[in-house]
Amino acid sequence: MKKCKDFCDQLSDYLDKELGARECVLIQEHLEKCAPCALIFEGLKTTVIVCSEGISDEVPEEVKMRLKEFLRTNCTAE
């Protein structure tokens, strides 16, 4: 069984459609059941969209701090 960190490590490849069908299904199933990973994935998708559209507004410092704390708490290597 994979841990959340294993799924988080594959989210970029999943978003870029660089994974096989089986891995995609496993990630989709995990995202449906795991709110923290789904939140990380939504943040990653938003980041990709913002970067691709060239939006240059800075992220508020409070949001940066909250995101860093969330990642430290939920996506640390065990």
Mean predicted confidence (pLDDT) in 11-16:
91
pLDDT in tens, 15-37: 999 999 999 999 999 999 999 99
pLDDT of 48 above 90: no
- Of 46, 26, 37, the closest CA to residue 71 belongs to 37
Other Cβ atoms less than 10 A from the Cβ of 53: the count is: 8
Are 7 and 32 within 8 A, CB to CB? Answer: no
pTM: 0.63
pLDDT of 78 above 70: no
Question: Which residue reads 């996506």 in tokens?
Answer: 75
